[in-house]
Structure formats: C-alpha cells, structure tokens
Structure 1
Amino acid sequence: MKRQNRTLSFRSIGYFLLLSLVISVGCKKTTTDDPLPETTTFAVETGDSEIPYLTIDTRGIQIENEPKISAELKIFIRKNEVQRTPIGIEYRGSTSFRLSDKKSFGLETWNAAGEDTDVAFFDFPAEEDWILNGHIVSLGDRRIQDRTLMYHYLGYQLFRNMGRYASRCRFVELEINGVYEGVYVFMEKLKRDGDRIAVKSLGPADNDPSSITGGYILKIDKTSGGDLGLQKPLEYYADNWADDATYREEFSFRSRYDITGQPLSFEPYGPPYHANQYLETYFLYEYPDAEDVSAEQKAYIQDYIHQFETALLEDDFSTELRTYTDYIDLSSFVDYFLINELCRNVDAYRLSTYMHKDRGEKLKMGPVWDLNIGYDTGDRIPWDDWVINYNQYVSSDAWMMPFWWTRLLEDPVFRQAVKERWAELRGGVLSTTALLDLVDQTASYLVSNGGIARNYTRWDIGGQINYDGAIRSLKNFLELRSQWMDGEINAF
C-alpha cells in the first residue's frame, strides 16, 4: 500500500508538471507581422483542451510525396492562436505511407519568399525541418498499430532521461484544410545541428587529414524516393515496394561482411530483393548527404567502418586486449542496446538505425528512432528474448540483423559495461516506478484533454477502442520486459 500511495503521488506531480509545461510554453510569433486573432473555430470541438491544436491550409493544393508544397501553419493553445508561419509540407514514410490511412508529414518552415528559415516551436530550439508523425491506421483491415499513441514519445523521452539526445516531441492535434486528422506527435527531424546530432560541419572541401575525420551521420535503413531522386505522381507511392531496397553507390555503401561476419563474395548494388540481399548491410550517407559528400570522405568513412568491423571480428575475447574499442564509443553502444531492448524495437539495429562520428572522435550509436512496432506489439521477437536475435526468428527479410550485436554480446567487456549501466538506470530513470509513471502521466494528459476520444472518433475501425486496456498492456509489458532483462543482465 505504501508503494501504491507513493506511485500515485509521483503520477499526480508528474501529470501537473506535464500540463504546466504545455501551458507555459512560449510559442514565438516568427514570420508574420500581422496581428494574431485570439480565437478561431476548429473542425472539432476541443473544449478547454491543453493539447496544442495545429491547422494547415494548403489553399486547395494537393499534398505530394515530393516536392513540398506551400501552406500556412497556425498553432493554437486553448483556442488562442499563438503562432503562424509559412511552411512546405509533403507526405513522409515509405512502408507506413502505403499501409496507413493516417498519413505522416514532413514540414519545412519557410519565410514569405518561400526560402527555408529556422523557426522555434514550443520549447524546442529553432530549426527548419520538422515531422508530424501519425500512428498507423488501416481502415480496410480494421487494424491500428500503437493504440496508446505513445510508442515514439515514450522511447524518445526515456532515451533523453538516460542523458542521450533524442528527437524532442510534443503531442498535438492536427487539422488540414478544415478536416480533423487526429492526435499526432510533432517532433524534430534528426539532422546535424548543435541542438540535435551535434557533429561538426563537414563541407566537400574538408578533406585534409584532420577535417576528414568528421562529422558524419550514417543510417542503416531502407532506401526511399528521396534517396532515388524520384519525382512521381502521388499514386505511384502506394505500391512502390522496390524503391525500399534499391541501393546505389552514389548514396550508400555496403559492409564487406555478411550478417554472420563472413566476407561477402558477390558484387554490391544488386536489384531489389535479389536472392542474397538478406546477407547484406548497407549504410546510407545521411550527413554529408549524397550530393555533398566528397569521394575522399566516402573512402574515409567506408574504411573506418571496415576497420571497426574487422577488429570486432578478429579480437580474441578470451584475452584482455581489445582493438574494436579504438573505433567506437562503447557507452553509446551500451545505451543504444538497452533502450531498444527495453522497448523491444524489432526495427532496431537493422532499420531506422542512426550512428554518427564527430571530428577526431569515435563512432557513436544513435539517436534512437522509429519505435512504432515495438513494445507489447513487437511480436516478431518473443518478449523474453533479445531483439538482437532477430535472425533466429525471421529468415526471409531483406533487412536482417547485422553481426555487430550478437558479436558484442559475446564480449565480457561489453557485457560488463551493459551490466553496470543497467544497474545504474534501474536505480533511477528506468526503474519500474519511473517507467509506469511516465506511461500513466502521458495517458492521463491525452485522455483528460479529450485527445484520445477525438482521435478514435476520427479513426474509427468499426469497434470500440479499449484505450485503458492498451495502457494496461503496455505497462504490463514494460514491467515484465524490464524484470526479464534484470535476470538476464545480472547473470552476465
């Protein structure tokens, strides 16, 4: 009973702190000198909701996958307009775009001339690139992925609580051209920035021995229309599965080892979904991007990754000598492993996987990204096994688990680092109480402000959504998963 009362107290305090943060956010007027009207009429009645309400007006122009079209964004809190700015907007996502009726969007903040300009939203540092992320809803299949609406938000918040950068997020409600679209997560796009992925700027001419060492951002992921330079009609993207697996030398490079750590003997850049693609791991140039990265920089970062992989494979873990740690920041690999395993992120390590290397520094993993098929619904992996064992459960995926992680977990040095860090986190920000309180606070905020009811009225799949049941399932999973990890890691 004492623990229950203490938990309720934490939840109450956290909930009111969360509400205070939303209410007190200073939304700065940025790109217009016109006076802001005090109130407006929305497509749905929001009452006294504290959830920020966003309206986007495209002036009758259809949103495309590419390029972005011009629109106007307005932000309201308690029905009071607090900010407006010109934006460019486009659909985002590959698989999610094809599968979901509730689309996600990429935004750029523009000035009156249509040029990119940095804008601050809420309490986030000013930037020009933003995301409106919606959970996956398939009306035809009557299927919803992440009924809690909080998978992304929760994982990013936990990673920040661990002392790592993750995309800053805010729940919002969205209306586009007078149509209510539901609850979304407004978030930062991952990119090089002093307030985001803070690696040094690297220009095409920075090829001297010192400068060429960083900064870089790499990604293990599917390819997309943006990578391929596509300018297709919107209907093309409903069935463009081959674009997900079309790797090219100009924007990617392949590991020289297969997913088991054996040297690859066939040529890279084969056709999408060829018979041996499951053996390959490709790295995409995220920063500098494919248009800006020099040939010298490509050669440098490719060789750096190869040296790391070779050292990891060749180090004798029965001795005290390690050479692979000359190339990686071990603590970042530990934290990346722990957050993705706790959230049972089945896309982790093999998709939506970011890493970065600053000038003169080692390779770091992260930030964490894309958690929408994890937690209690990440059913490709049992709740009581490691996500890094993905290859034991799935054999036909074009994107399999790279050898890095199973090899790392063979190393007593890595295992000890995991054990020490897990004990530290479980005594604080990843304690069972902290995990369950964060879920409760977030759910209370969404429910009490009417966001859940409005969202599921908009996205009705023909049956009552048991939101309380979804929250109980998520909390039960986090409690069981963290306790299972306690047993496994304490035995290291």
Structure 2
Amino acid sequence: MQGKFNHIFWVAIISLFIWTGCKEPVEVMVPIGDDGQVFAIDTEDSKIPYIVIDTRGASIPYEPGVVAQMKIYEEKKLIQTQRIDIEYRGKTSFRLSDKKGFNFETIDDAGEGTDVSLLGLPKEEDWRLIGHVVNVSEKYIWDRSLIYNPVAYELSNRIGKYASRGKLVEIEVNGEYMGVYFLCEKLKRDSQRIDIKSLNASSTNLTGGYILKIDKADAGPEHDGAPLSYFLNNWDDDARYTAQNSFRSQYDINRNVITFPPFAPPYHTNQYLETYFMYEYPNAEDITDAQEAYIANYLHEFETALIQDNFGAGQRTYANYIEIGSFVDYFIINELCRNVDGYRLSTFLVKDRDGKLAMGPVWDFNIGFDEGGRIPMDDWVINYNSLVDRDPWMLPFWWTRLMEDPVFRQALKTRWTSLRSGPLSNANLQNLVAETAKYLQDNEAVTRNYAKWEVSKDRTYEQAILDLQNFLSQRANWMDGRIGAF
C-alpha cells in the first residue's frame, strides 16, 4: 500500500508541474516496478537486472555495515526482495572513485547471515557490487569499457580455474542511480566457491585448508565505526602489517634473507623489499598459533626450495610444495590481461588439507588490459620490479625464479598452446568482449551509466571496446612469440 501511495504522489507532482508550465497538460510516464517502486531512472525495456537498495535513511559506513532492503527487478518486474547488511568496499578505489563499490551480506529477519541465490548464482551470504573507477574532480576513468573484471573472470572460468561469477546489473542506492555494476561472489571458502576443507580451532590436521592473500593490509576491527572521513584518508593502514593480521616472508624480493625486523611502521624505507601474507581463512581473529606456525613454515620451506634448487641438475624440490598447473594458469590470465596489480596485490593463495599450495583465484583487474600502462605491451607483468622503482608493493621473487626452470617454462608452453586453440583463441577473445559489451549497449545501460558518470569525451564507448579487443589480440600474439620460443 505504501508503494502505491508513493507512486500516486510522484505522478501528481509531475502532472501538476507540467499543467502549470504549459498550456496543455502532457502525460508523463513515471518509471516504476510492478510492485509500485519508483525507480531513480527509466530503464525502459532493458533486460539488465535493476537493483534498488534502500537503507531507510541510514548512511552507509565503510565498516561495519548497515541494514538495508534490496529489491531485484527484471524488465521492471520484482523478482526478489532481500534484507542485506551493506558497507563500502575497496582501498585505493574507494578513496579515488566517486562511484563507490559495496560489500553486502544477505541476512534474515534477525540480522544473521543467510545463504541466498541471487540472479541464479549459487547460494551464499557474502557478495560484492563492483563499479568502475570514476574521479569527477580530476576527470579520469579507469575501465571505460565497464567489463574488465567480468571478462577476466570469465576467461579464468573458461580455462577451468574458478573465478568469481557474477552478473552485470544497474543499481540505485537510496534513490540515486549509480550506474552499471558487476554483482559477483566474494572469494571465500565454500563448496561452490573456493572448495577446500574447513579449518577451525579444534582441527587436529593443520595441513589445511588455508586461504592467504598478498595485498594491502586491512584497517582492522579496532577501526570499526570510524567516520567515512577516516577511511577516505587512511593510506597508512594499507601498509600497517602486524603479527595479528599477517606473517612476512623470510626472503626479500631479490631472494636474500631479510635481516631487519618485520612489522615496521607504514611505508618504512625497506618496505618495498618485503612480502606479507594476510590471513584470509581462517581469518586473523580465528586462526590459532599452531595454524599460523604451520602455514608460515610451509611457505618458508617452499621459498627456500625454490631458491636453492639446482634446475640444471634436475633438482626441483619446490614442486613438492606447489600445484604447478595453478601457477601456470594464474600466470596466463594475469599476463594476458596485463594485470598491473597481479602477483603483488589482490593475490590469493590456497592450500587444501593434505594438498599443495595453489595460486588463485584471480581477482581485481581494474587497472589491467589496455589500462595497464606501467607494463609495456612487449613485457611481462612479472618484470614489474624492473619497471617500477621501489613501489611499496613489489612482486615476490617466485615468478622470475620459476621462469628460470625449463620444466616450468615447458608446462607453461604446453598449456598456453592448448588454450590458444580453444578458449583463448583470438576469435574467442574477440567474441567474449563483443558479446559482453553488446549486452550493455543493446539495453542502453552504457548510455544511462555515462549520463551519470561521464567526465571526459576524449574516447567513445565504441572506441574503448575496439581498444580492448585490439589489446587482447596484440597481447596474445606477443605471448605466442615469447612462449613459443621457450
């Protein structure tokens, strides 16, 4: 009844305005859902799901979240209503972008997390809404195509390596149209996501499962409830590693033993030499001392073997510690997509019970593809340390060392050659980009998004898609030459 009243109210206001401003009244169509929900924008006959999020007047925090109602529409028909707990997400992107991303959890009436299927995706409770970066004041955009992440994740899934699945949607938040987003799965332990055995404080088998992350540090629960202004300016927390949230590699990026103590203040002189492993699962609050010791020692033994193995003599004991195939596939996706953040940020590592260390899933490509300007078209992302001087987050030594192993290079060559005749062929790469973009264009979502977020008309959407397609073909062809010479 309330929705119907609101609909009548808004129609009355618009009709009155047009009656008093014109000689004859003009009928105006107000965009509404079939339940009477007034939309912030008219999606006309678009087939792209439209999501309405309403916090009932509460401000959205960075963390922890606030309760909201989420409605999902398809062609203006309400298909799902769900209570959620929503908060802002991201670090650099959160600070730089006016088009913010969101984390949300599906909850029940008591406020507890509950597994729910959204738009046909497998049931879970933790989700992400990711938009592209738009900075209005400085007039720049990252990923004008709007599809970097969906394309990269789909490529990974097509080669048989799980990546976050999702749907392109349009959203409004508290009555404000926010544009095109990618509604996708949070990377977490789950039988339908990262399928590894559970590990808790009572587990006696310490071998797994673990999820680690090489990334910027999280602000920590001590900052829960801090004002948004704090999170918009907390650059130091990105580099605030502690014994509670992480452990440090015993080797620096040049394969030397580190002699200075860990957990120094943010952005200290030698930070660029360090690699920290963040606890993702079990998380920093739940992981036990014994589990911390086990996984830190496992990583140290792997790194030591990788450094000390004599490949010329046929010694590669490092292979006892890692799933080489997962490293190969991780390399292929990040290199093909020229993911500037690959290997050194947003980098997930997984170890299942009684299993080896595996790379992935891949994550976060907002400065990849033709946006990845720090990496030349004709160079590897793994050479980042030679191309960028003393970034606070450099690559661990693993990748350049692995490329010194003829067996690893041959595994890469075999896999790449196979994929190039299938899911990573030039035709398939071109078609994936074209089909994904066409879905947005045919449903006018690109027009609506850039009516909201256009900051510079130096490049059309059509040109952005052509640039992305050209990039993928050129990059793949370059990789053919380099890998073929192994």
Aligned residues with identical type, % of pairs: 56
1:125 is aligned to: 122
Q: Do 1:205 and 1:294's aligned partners in 2 also have CA atoms closer than 8 Å? A: no
| 1:429-486 residue CA offsets vs partner (Å, 9 max, x unmatched) | 0000000000000010000001000000010215365001001110110000000000
Offset at residue 39 of structure 1 (A): 5.7
Give the secondary-structure state (helix, strand or coil) at the position aligned to 1:70: strand
262, 274, 277: which one aligns with 1:280: 274
Matches within 5 A, 1:131-210: 131-206=128-203, 208=204
Q: Name the aligned partner's letter for residue 88 of structure 1.
A: D
2:333 is aligned to: 339
1:382 is aligned to: 376
2:298 is aligned to: 304
**C-alpha root-mean-square deviation of aligned residues, in Å?**
1.1
1:231 is aligned to: 225
Q: Counterparts of 2:222 and 2:197 in 1: how far apart (Å)? A: 26
| 1:342-367 residue CA offsets vs partner (Å, 9 max, x unmatched) | 00001000000001000000000000
Give the secondary-structure state (helix, strand or coil) at the position aligned to 1:213: coil
Decide which moves more: 314-323 or 280-289: 314-323
Give the secondary-structure state (helix, strand or coil) at the position aligned to 2:367: coil
Offset at residue 230 of structure 1 (A): 4.1
Matches within 5 A, 1:414-433: 414-433=408-427
The answer to whether 1:107 aligns with 2:129 is no
Q: Name the aligned partner's letter for residue 41 of structure 2.
A: V
Q: Counterparts of 1:88 and 1:296 in 2: how far apart (Å)? A: 33
Offset at residue 71 of structure 1 (A): 0.4
Offset at residue 178 of structure 1 (A): 1.0
Q: Counterparts of 2:242 and 2:87 in 1: how far apart (Å)? A: 24
Offset at residue 169 of structure 1 (A): 1.3
Decide which moves more: 429-438 or 120-129: 120-129
53, 64, 71: which one aligns with 1:67: 64
403, 407, 423: which one aligns with 2:397: 403
Q: Name the aligned partner's letter for residue 304 of structure 2.
A: T
Q: Counterparts of 2:147 and 2:444 in 1: how far apart (Å)? A: 15
Q: Counterparts of 2:459 and 2:324 in 1: how far apart (Å)? A: 42
Q: Counterparts of 1:479 and 1:37 in 2: how far apart (Å)? A: 44
Structure 2: state its 5+ residue gaps: 1-32
Q: Counterparts of 2:366 and 2:36 in 1: how far apart (Å)? A: 34
Give the secondary-structure state (helix, strand or coil) at the position aligned to 2:252: coil
1:448 is aligned to: 442
88, 99, 122: which one aligns with 2:85: 88
1:482 is aligned to: 476
Q: Do 2:167 and 2:182's aligned partners in 1 also have CA atoms closer than 8 Å? A: yes
Give the secondary-structure state (helix, strand or coil) at the position aligned to 1:171: strand
Q: Counterparts of 1:293 and 1:490 in 2: how far apart (Å)? A: 44
Change (3 A) 1:425 1:227: farther
Q: Counterparts of 1:468 and 1:190 in 2: how far apart (Å)? A: 32
Offset at residue 67 of structure 1 (A): 1.1
1:23 is aligned to: none
Q: Do 1:227 and 1:251's aligned partners in 2 also have CA atoms closer than 8 Å? A: no
Structure 1 length as normaliser, TM-score?
A: 0.91
Q: Counterparts of 1:391 and 1:228 in 2: how far apart (Å)? A: 33
Q: Do 2:34 and 2:76's aligned partners in 1 also have CA atoms closer than 8 Å? A: no
Give the secondary-structure state (helix, strand or coil) at the position aligned to 2:196: coil
Matches within 5 A, 1:248-327: 248-327=242-321
2:386 is aligned to: 392
Q: Counterparts of 2:146 and 2:222 in 1: how far apart (Å)? A: 31
Q: Do 1:52 and 1:76's aligned partners in 2 also have CA atoms closer than 8 Å? A: yes
Q: Do 1:60 and 1:177's aligned partners in 2 also have CA atoms closer than 8 Å? A: yes
1:56 is aligned to: 53
Which protein has the larger Cα radius of gyration, Structure 1 or Structure 2? 2
Q: Name the aligned partner's letter for residue 153 of structure 1.
A: P
| 1:41-98 residue CA offsets vs partner (Å, 9 max, x unmatched) | 3111111101000000000000000110010000000000000011000000011110
- Report the count of equivalent residues: 454
Q: Do 2:61 and 2:225's aligned partners in 1 also have CA atoms closer than 8 Å? A: no
Q: Counterparts of 1:86 and 1:136 in 2: how far apart (Å)? A: 27
1:27 is aligned to: none
Q: Counterparts of 1:407 and 1:317 in 2: how far apart (Å)? A: 10
1:463 is aligned to: 457
| 1:249-269 residue CA offsets vs partner (Å, 9 max, x unmatched) | 011000000001100000000
1:22 is aligned to: none
The answer to whether 1:368 aligns with 2:362 is yes
Q: Do 2:64 and 2:224's aligned partners in 1 also have CA atoms closer than 8 Å? A: no
Q: Name the aligned partner's letter for residue 98 of structure 2.
A: D
Q: Name the aligned partner's letter for residue 54 of structure 1.
A: I
